[in-house]
Structure 1
C-alpha cells in the first residue's frame, strides 16, 4: 500500500467517525447562530442603531448571553471540526483525474480555511479577549498592498470574493444546496427550500459586496476601504434605498442561519 492510499484510508476512517460527525453537526448549528446574529446586526445598522455587523459583533452578542461562554467554546470546537472535515474532503479528492473532484477539493479547502478563521476568532472571545474583524481585514489588506504587486494581489482577492458571492447566489437560485442535505418530504420540504434559496442569495450578495470593497481598496491603494463584512453592510446602507436593501439582506442572513440549523440535522456527513 503506497503513501497516498494509506493517507486516503486514514482520512476515510476519520471521516466515518461518529464523534466527528456529531462535532460537525454542532459546528453547523454554531454557524447557524452566528448567521442569525449577523442578520440581526445588519438590520440594526439599517435602523441606525450602530454596532459591529460582522463576526466580531456576532461573537460579542453571544458573549453577553447567560451561557455565552459555553456557547463560544462549543462554537470553537464545532468550527474546527468543520474545518477538519472539509480538509478531509479536500484530501480525498486530491490526485483524482476528475476535474470536478479537483474543483470540489479546492472549494472544500477554501471553506476549511474560512471555518478555521471563524473558529480562531471565536477562540479569542471564548478566552475573554476581543478582536475586530474589520480592523484585522484592514491590517491584512495593508500588508498585502505593501508587497510587490500588492494592489494586483488584493484586486484578485476581491475578484475571488465577488466570484464566491456569485457562486452562492447561483447555488441558492438553482437550489444546488439540496445536494448537501437529505431534503425532507411532505410539508417540511417547502420551508427548507425557501430558507435555503433566500439564505444563499443574501449571503452571496453580502460576500460579493465585500469583494467589491477589496477591489476598490486595490484600485485606490487604500487599505481602509477593505473593511470586510461590516464595511459591506455599511456600504449597502449608504446606497439609494439602502435601508430597505440592507433590511432585506439582514432578513436573508437570518434565513440562512435558520437553514444552517436545519442543515445541522439533515447534512450528509
Structure 2
C-alpha cells in the first residue's frame, strides 16, 4: 500500500476524525481564553499572560482543569496527526512539475506548519496538565538568548522575526481573500451559517495576522538591539498594541478578532474539511 493510500485511510478514520474535532474545539477554546485575557489587559483587569500559556494556566487553575487539559492535549495531538496524514497525501505531487508540483510544495509547507503549531500546543497543554507549564514569553526569551550564543545567531533570530512577520501577512491576506474557506466543508450548512463562517474567518484571520506581525516585529527588534528581553511573544505583542495611540481600543479590536477566530474553529469542528 502506498503512502498516499495509507494517508487516506488514516485521515478517513472515524476515531481520528472525532479526536481531531476535539482538537479543533480545544484550539478554539484557547483562542477564546487569549481573547478574554487580552480584553482584561486592555481594560486594566488582567494579571495573567495574554497568550497560550496564560490561557492554559487559566484552565489549569479551574476545578477539573487538569483533566480537561489532558482531553485538550489528546485532541490536539489527533489534530496534528490529521495534518501529518495530509502531508503524506501531498508527497506524490512533489515528483511532478509545473503547477502540480507548486501546489504539492505549498500543501506540504502549510500542513507541516500546522503540525508544528498543533503539536507544540498539545505539548504545552500536557505540561500544564502535569503541573510543569511555564510562561511562553519567558521561554521565547530563553530560546532567543540561547540562539544569540550560536554562530550567526543574531542573523537567525532576525530571519525568524521576518518569517513570523511573513506568516502574519499571509494570515491577513488569507482572511481578506477568504482562502480559509478551503479548510472547511460548508456544503451541508445553511446560507446563513456560511455567511457567519465567512465573517468570523475574515475578522479572525486578519486580527490573528496583525498580532503575528507585531510578534515578528518584536523578534526582529530583539535581533537588531541584540537584546533577548525584547522577544516577548504574543503577550509582549498585546502590551505593545496597548501602548500604541488608541491602544486600549486597538487591543479590544484585536481581542474580539481573536475571539472570532476561536468561534470559527468551532465551525471547523462542526464542518471539517474532507481529505
The two structures share one fold, judged by TM-score above 0.5 = yes
2:61 pairs with 1:76: no
- Stretches of structure 1 that go unaligned for 5 or more consecutive residues are none
Residue number among 43, 46, 52 corresponding to 2:42 in the alignment: 46
Pairwise mapping of residues 76-225 of structure 1 onto structure 2 (< 5 A)?
76-96=73-93, 97=96, 98-183=101-186, 184-225=189-230
Number of equivalent positions = 265
RMSD: 1.3
**How many angstroms does 1:12 deviate by?**
2.2
Residue number among 27, 32, 36 corresponding to 1:31 in the alignment: 27
**How many angstroms does 1:129 deviate by?**
2.5
Moved more, 197-206 or 67-76: 67-76
Distance 1:95 1:8, change over 3 A: closer
**How many angstroms does 1:217 deviate by?**
0.6
* Counterpart secondary structure, 2:67: helix
2:13 match: 17
**How many angstroms does 1:95 deviate by?**
4.6
Summarize deviations over 1:196-225 as a string: whole Å, max 9, x none.
Answer: 111111111111111101100111111111
Summarize deviations over 1:112-144 as a string: whole Å, max 9, x none.
Answer: 111111111101111122311111111111111
Moved more, 62-71 or 28-37: 62-71
Distance 1:66 1:202 in 2: 31
Distance 1:262 1:235, change over 3 A: same
- Stretches of structure 2 that go unaligned for 5 or more consecutive residues are none
**How many angstroms does 1:176 deviate by?**
1.1
**How many angstroms does 1:36 deviate by?**
0.2
2:254 match: 249
Moved more, 5-14 or 90-99: 5-14
Moved more, 167-176 or 44-53: 44-53
Distance 1:54 1:127 in 2: 19
Distance 1:157 1:128 in 2: 30
Runs (4 or more) in structure 1 with deviation over 6 Å come to none
**How many angstroms does 1:227 deviate by?**
1.1
Distance 2:195 2:8 in 1: 34
- State the TM-score, normalized to the length of structure 1: 0.95
Maintained 8 Å contact 2:4/2:91: no
2:3 match: 7
Distance 2:143 2:115 in 1: 19
- State the TM-score, normalized to the length of structure 2: 0.93
